[in-house]
């Protein structure tokens, strides 16, 4: 099992480095704009209050001020970049793990090894973990150094907590892609289903939050990851983190069980 994990992780290394580089560029641009925005005298908080509740939830989260570096980073970087874009990306990436082999017809070769289908599915998922950790490690240092370069300060522990927590969140989203990957023979269908499900759940969270139908959004993983609460208030919700970890295990088990019973002869 570890051989498959190691091989797949090495194969994904270049993609993770490219993604990390792209995020560094985004981080540099985002942080570099902060001093000029502050000096412009624009009332960002008034702008924030003018936004519709749905837009605030989707793009700003629970941030109440954009005048601090923490609030600015959450609104301009983490809420949209991590909670949505990276979540969709990893669901999309995970969707190709098993479906890709089925579509290429190489799954029989993999299963000819002394390994069960369950172990193969778990190994495929575990191959995503190093990339998620690497991207978050790279961006953690990029943000911390970037903030220092513009003569601002940020709590390193809280910043680390955001990125450590996001590993669990992104892997939970990836597990949705894994379930799609064992369900469909076509990579394109699996990627559409996996990434579409994560995006749809994000919208469900956004449009039901603080409404009479808020309970519907409880199935969305974005409901359990609040970068603002962690970075601004230093508040890590261990119960929400536990829900994400349990969801990862449940979806991996469900994916493995379904793949064990699936007929691949066709």
- With CA atoms as reference, report the closest residue to 237 among 250, 246, 227, 247: 227
Find the mean pLDDT for residues 21-36. 93
Query: Are the beta carbons of 45 and 65 closer than 8 angstroms?
Result: yes
Q: Report pLDDT digits (tens) over 46-95.
A: 666 666 666 666 666 677 677 789 988 998 899 989 999 999 999 999 99
pLDDT at 34 over 90: no
Q: Report pLDDT digits (tens) over 125-156.
A: 999 999 999 999 999 999 999 999 999 999 99
Q: Report pLDDT digits (tens) over 206-231.
A: 888 888 888 998 999 999 999 999 99
How many Cα atoms sit within 13 Å of 185 on the Cβ side? 8
So what's the pLDDT on residue 212? 87
pLDDT at 17 over 60: yes
Residue 245 tokens read as 């970890």
So what's the pLDDT on residue 45? 62
Mean pLDDT of the chain: 88
Which pTM does this prediction carry? 0.92
- With CA atoms as reference, report the closest residue to 189 among 198, 197, 178, 180: 180
Higher-confidence residue: 110 or 25? 25
pLDDT at 164 over 90: yes
How far CA 260 is from CA of 124, 187, 224, in Å, comes to 14, 19, 30
So what's the pLDDT on residue 53? 67
Q: Report pLDDT digits (tens) over 173-193.
A: 999 999 999 999 889 999 999
So what's the pLDDT on residue 59? 66
Higher-confidence residue: 157 or 6? 157
């Amino acid at each position: 099992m570890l051989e498959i994990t190691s091989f797949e992780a090495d194969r994904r290394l270049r993609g993770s480095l490219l993604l990390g580089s792209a995020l560094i560029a985004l981080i540099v641009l985002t942080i570099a704009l902060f001093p000029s925005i502050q000096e412009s005298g624009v009332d960002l908080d008034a702008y924030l209050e003018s936004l519709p509740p749905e837009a605030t939830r989707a793009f700003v989260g629970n941030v109440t001020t954009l005048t601090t570096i923490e609030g600015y980073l959450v609104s301009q970087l983490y809420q949209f970049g991590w909670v949505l874009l990276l979540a969709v990306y990893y669901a999309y990436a995970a969707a190709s793990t098993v479906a890709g082999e089925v579509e290429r017809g190489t799954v029989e070769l993999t299963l000819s090894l002394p390994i069960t289908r369950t172990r193969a599915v778990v190994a495929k998922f575990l191959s995503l973990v190093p990339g998620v950790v690497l991207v978050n490690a790279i961006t953690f240092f990029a943000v911390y150094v970037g903030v220092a370069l513009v003569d601002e300060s940020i709590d390193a522990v809280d910043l680390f907590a955001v990125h450590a927590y996001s590993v669990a969140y992104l892997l939970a989203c990836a597990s949705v892609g894994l379930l799609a990957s064992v369900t469909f023979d076509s990579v394109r269908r699996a990627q559409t289903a996996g990434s579409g499900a994560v995006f749809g759940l994000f919208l469900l969270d956004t449009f039901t939050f603080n409404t009479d139908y808020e309970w519907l959004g409880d199935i969305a993983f974005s409901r359990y990851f609040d970068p603002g609460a962690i970075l601004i208030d230093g508040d890590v919700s261990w119960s929400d983190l536990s829900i994400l970890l349990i969801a990862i295990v449940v979806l991996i088990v469900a994916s493995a069980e379904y793949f064990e019973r699936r007929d691949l002869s066709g």
